[in-house]
Structure 1
Amino acid sequence: MSEYLHDEPVVPRTDDEKEKLMNRLKRIEGQVRGIQNMVEEDRYCVDILVQISAIQSALKNVGFSVTERHINHCVTDAIQKGEGDETIQELMDVLKQFSK
């Protein structure tokens, strides 16, 4: 069982939202494979670091997107149901991890 309040989304993602998110994650996956190739080919360290930075930025943007959706749907829904305090605390705990 998860340590979080919900294991499934309160409001399912639309197919368009899911497709956009999956496409972004697939691009990131491709970037990671590209770095693996760069390491295998003994590419210049600074070039590898630049690619790592790009991936970190891309992942952070995916995280912001998921966070925004969570606030707009899950947190709003929880507040309307009178469960806002728990849900907000859960989000704050995750954001603390996210910002490390």
Structure 2
Amino acid sequence: MAGNEQAHSGESCGNGCPPAAPGVRKSHHSPEFKNGLTTRLNRIEGQIRGIKGMIERDTYCDDVLNQLAAVQAALNGVGKLLLEGHMKSCIIERIEAGEHEVIDELLITVNKLMK
């Protein structure tokens, strides 16, 4: 459920998340969404440990580089899921609230993701 992410400031989001401190933005994810992200990140963490072991065992560089590419692709997948949820909820809500500066914020974030 990538679209269940909400940013709010100083008030409850209405979906069971606690109020944030004034001026602090938070996101809210469903337990299923968080579990999915956590599973992906745990897998990536295991891949990183595997790459460290490959380096310690003097594994052929091309094999290590291929594993690094796989980790980068997996991280990009997590980023895409978060970006999708962010755009479908937080961005829409902030635009509807008249906070059009969120577009500039989003563009900066997308540029960072595309490096």
TM over 0.5: yes
Alpha-carbon distance in 1 for matches of 2:24, 2:30? 18
Letter in 1 for 2:81: S
Task: State the structure with bigger RCO (CA 8 A, min sep 6), 1 or 2.
Answer: 1
Please report how far the alpha carbon of residue 6 of structure 1 lies from its aligned counterpart in structure 2 after TM superposition: 5.7
Stretches of 4+ moved more than 6 A in 1?
none
How far off its partner does 1:80 sit? 1.3
SS in 2 for 1:82: coil
Structure 1 residue 97 and structure 2 residue 112: aligned? yes
Letter in 2 for 1:24: R
Match of 1:8 in 2: 26
May I ask how many residue pairs the two structures share in their alignment? 93
Aligned sequence identity (%): 40
Partners of 1:6 and 1:75 lie apart in 2 by 16
The separation in 2 between residues aligned to 1:7 and 1:44, in whole angstroms, is 45
State the superposition RMSD in angstroms: 1.3
1:23 alignment counterpart: 39
Instruction: Write the deviation string for residues 34-61 of structure 1: whole angstroms up to 9, x where unpaired.
Output: 0000000001111101000000000011
5+ long unaligned stretches in structure 2: 1-22
TM-score by length of 1: 0.88
Query: Is 2:103 the partner of 1:88?
Result: yes
Letter in 2 for 1:8: K
SS in structure 1 of the partner of residue 59 of structure 2:
coil
- The offset of 1:7, in angstroms, is 3.4
SS of the aligned residue for 2:29 comes to coil
In structure 1, C-alpha distance between the alignment counterparts of 2:61 and 2:110, rounded to whole Å: 31
Q: Distance in 2 between matches of 1:86 and 1:6?
A: 17
Task: Report the equivalent of 1:34.
Answer: 50
**Between structures 1 and 2, the one with greater helix share:** 1
* 1:59 and 2:72 matched: no
